Amino acid sequence: MKAWDRFVRSFSYALQGIVHTVKTQRNMQIHVTAAVLVLAAAWWLQIPRSDVLLVFFSIALVIALELVNTAVEAVVDLASPDWHSKAKIAKDASAAAVLVVAFVSVVIGIMIFGPPLYQKMSEWFLS
C-alpha cells in the first residue's frame, strides 16, 4: 500500500470515529448543536477574529475530549464488561475532563459574547 493510501485511510478512520460519536453520544450531539449556534451568534454579533479563534479552540477542545471520553468508555466496557470500581474511576475521570473543559468554554463564551449581546439587547429594548 502506498503512503498516500495509508494517509487517506487514516483520515477515513478518524472521520468514522467522529460520525460514530455524533450518531451515538447524546452529549456530543449537544456539543455540536451548541457549537453551530455559538458560531452563528459570533457571526451575527460580529465578534472580532481573535475572539472567534478562541471560541473555535474551545469548541475543538470540548469535541476532542468528548471523542476521547467515548474511546475510554468503549475500551473500559470491552476490558471490564462487569462493574468494577477502577472501571468506574476511568469512566468518571474522562467524563470529568469533558465537564471541566465545557465549563471553562462557557465562561469564555460569557466573557466574549456578554458585552456585544448586552449591547445588541440594549439597542432593541431602548430604541
pLDDT (tens digit, 9 = 90+) per residue, 75-124? 999 999 999 999 999 999 999 999 999 999 999 999 999 999 999 999 88
HSE on the CB side for 13, CA within 13 Å? 6
User: Please, are residues 67 and 17 in contact by the beta-carbon 8 Å criterion?
Assistant: yes
In angstroms, the CA 5 to CA 46 distance is: 41
SS3 assignment, position 118: helix
Q: Which fold does the domain 3-126 belong to in CATH? A: Helix Hairpins (1.10.287)
Candidates 32, 42, 65, 66; catalytic one:
66
In angstroms, the CA 12 to CA 1 distance is: 15
Q: Give the orientation angle of helix 85-126 with respect to helix 49-79, to 10 degrees.
A: 150
Residues 6+ apart with CB under 8 A from 95: 69
Average pLDDT in the 40-63 region? 98
Query: pLDDT digit string (tens) for 22-48?
Result: 999 999 999 999 999 999 999 999 999
Say what the pTM is.
Answer: 0.91
State yes or no: is 73 an active-site residue: no
In angstroms, the CA 82 to CA 72 distance is: 16
Report how far Cα 43 is from the mean position of its chain's Cα atoms: 19
Among 75, 57, 54, 62, CA closest to 28: 62
What are the extents of the domains in the chain? 3-126
Grade residue 13 by pLDDT with cuts at 50, 70 and 90: very high
